[in-house]
A and B are shown apart, each in its own frame.
Chain A
Amino acid sequence: MALDYEKEVVTVIVCISMFFMTIAILLVVFFYLSRKKLIHKELEKKNLEIEMQNELIKAVIVTQEEERKRIAQDLHDDISSKLNVVGLNGHLLKTPNLLPHELEEITNNIITLNNKALENSRKIAHNLLPPVLEKFGLEAGIRELCLEFESGKTLIIDFIQETIIEQDLNRDLHVFRILQELLNNSVRHGKASKVKIKIDKTKEGYCCHYHDNGVGFDVNKATHQKGLGTKNMASRVQYLNGELIINSAVGEGITVYFTF
């Protein structure tokens, strides 16, 4: 009788023990699977980040190459060609028995071409790094940029600056380039006639609101999302540790918000 009781209790003990063991195993399996899932998600996130960074790097390289091509073309068309003609005129000066009016014509040519080459070289240098940005800061740089675009008489720009921006050439140049890209797009693709730019202060730094009344585009279309200009702007904003939001719809212009 006592043995039957002992046998029964032992069975209960063994069953409870196995029950707890099973719970422990299930908990371990649960932890293991959760860990696997979390690591998988983290890996996916990292891969996505790497992919995005690669795309940005690619965009930067392509932009850099295009910029180099443009500078090379500017140098070739505006400076080299003119200096060639100056050289030719210089050789003409060596021609014996030149009449005074011929001499004067050649000299005038050399002076005119030299002035033009000098002016063009200034323009190229200005495009590479606007001097006003370095000397007077971002506000003056943007105002000059607005004047340049408004000189075409097709665009009216309303620039509002609500705060004083501390000068930081590296940051200012990126902001300037972003606005330059936006204005170029508004004129070239958006056919806009009015643009509003507003710079304000935020808790972390500054923000810029940009709006035009152009034709706009569908932001959900991949071609617009992955355009070189957009990628270039995104990489600049990312470099400034900011945030970039682009909103647009067909016929409603474009609204861009970025922080820096």
Chain B
Amino acid sequence: MIDDVLIYTGYGILVLNLILYSISFFFKKKGNAFFIAYLFFCTAMQFSMELMYLLGKENLFLGNTFFIGQVIIISLFYKSQFSLPFKKKLCNWILGVNILYAILFFSYDFQFVFQTNLSIITLSSLSILILIYAFFYSKLTRNKEYFNFSMGLLMYVCASEVIYLSANITNSWSNEYKFFTWRINSLLIIIYYLLIWYEWKVSFAQKKAQLQKTS
């Protein structure tokens, strides 16, 4: 019961974020296309996983798709945020290395697609951490747009890393403890999505209010 509440609350906040950011982007011309793409990708993956689960089918390949897709979109997003050529190059390298590794890894044995792959998870998470640090560094003296989102992503990636890495061990356990780690993951996702919502409130919704005040 509590698991469902946590999972569906996460879905709800994610959909709300997608709607809010889409309105800001398509109607008020504010925001970043890659960020909308990221939210859309997360929503599509979450609902696909839920659907597969409800149909009683294996959804681990979606997990792999999520990690690779996430690092691709996040790299492109941060690339659009950086102004220095060196940082743009860093994004290209991270993007290239992740894609190349995934191609080589799955070509070696395609069955890996249907398993939890620790190296894919570790590489994509480390890549995201590097991008977040580069982003934070670039924002030291500039505006704070997407600072809260990056903060949420950093916390989520750091905290959930162990949960994902231990997935293969906990998979064969009893339901009582198997789902406990995923319950914590759901809680972390809620915090992460709430920070994305807070980002919208601070960077996009509040600007409008300030404009209205001054006009």
A: residues with CB less than 8 A from B are 2-3, 6-7, 9-10, 13-14, 16-18, 20-21, 23-25, 27-28, 31, 34-35, 38-39, 42
Listed stretches B22-30, B84-92, B99-107, B135-143; interface member: B135-143
How many residues of B sit at the interface, in one of the four size bands?
A: 20 to 34
Cross-chain contact A20 with B176 (CB below 8 angstroms): no
Cross-chain contact B177 with A38 (CB below 8 angstroms): no
Given A31-B136, A35-B140, are A9 and B169 neighbors across the interface (CB < 8 Å)?
A: yes
B: residues with CB less than 8 A from A are 136, 139-141, 151, 154-155, 157-163, 166, 169-170, 173-174, 176-177, 180-181, 184, 188
Least CB distance from B139 to A in Å reads 7
Residue of B nearest to A3 (CB): B174
Least CB distance from B128 to A in Å reads 12
26 pairs from A and B in contact (CB 8 Å cutoff): A2-B174, A6-B170, A6-B176, A9-B177, A10-B180, A10-B181, A14-B180, A14-B181, A16-B162, A17-B160, A17-B163, A17-B188, A18-B159, A20-B159, A20-B161, A23-B158, A24-B154, A24-B155, A24-B157, A27-B154, A35-B139, A35-B140, A35-B141, A38-B140, A39-B141, A42-B141
Least CB distance from A202 to B in Å reads 32
**Interface residues of A: mostly helix, strand, loop or mixed?**
helix
Q: Which of B141, B155, B166, B169 contacts A21 (CB 8 A)?
A: B155
Q: Which residues of B contact A6 (CB under 8 A)?
A: 170, 173-174, 176-177
Least CB distance from B69 to A in Å reads 22
Of the candidates A23, A28, A34, the one having the most CB atoms from chain B within 10 angstroms of its own CB is A28
Given contacts A20-B159, A21-B155, 15 further A-B contacts (CB under 8 A): A3-B176, A6-B170, A6-B176, A7-B177, A9-B170, A9-B177, A10-B177, A13-B162, A13-B181, A16-B162, A17-B160, A18-B159, A20-B162, A31-B136, A39-B141
Closest 6 CB pairs of A and B: A21-B159, A20-B158, A24-B158, A6-B177, A24-B155, A16-B162
Q: Which residues of B contact A10 (CB under 8 A)?
A: 170, 177, 180-181
Residue of A nearest to B173 (CB): A6
Q: Which of B154, B163, B170, B174 contacts A28 (CB 8 A)?
A: B154
Q: Which residues of B contact A21 (CB under 8 A)?
A: 155, 158-159, 188
Residue of B nearest to A39 (CB): B141
Given A6-B177, A10-B181, A38-B141, are A24 and B159 neighbors across the interface (CB < 8 Å)?
A: yes
Q: Which residues of B contact A42 (CB under 8 A)?
A: 141
Least CB distance from A119 to B in Å reads 61
Cross-chain contact A13 with B141 (CB below 8 angstroms): no
Cross-chain contact A17 with B155 (CB below 8 angstroms): no
Q: Please, how many angstroms separate the alpha-carbon atoms of A35 and B138 in the complex?
A: 10
Residue of B nearest to A36 (CB): B140
Least CB distance from B184 to A in Å reads 6
Given A17-B160, A20-B161, are A28 and B184 neighbors across the interface (CB < 8 Å)?
A: no
Q: Which residues of B contact A38 (CB under 8 A)?
A: 140-141
Q: Which residues of A contact B161 (CB under 8 A)?
A: 17, 20
Cross-chain contact B162 with A17 (CB below 8 angstroms): yes
Q: Which residues of B contact A16 (CB under 8 A)?
A: 162
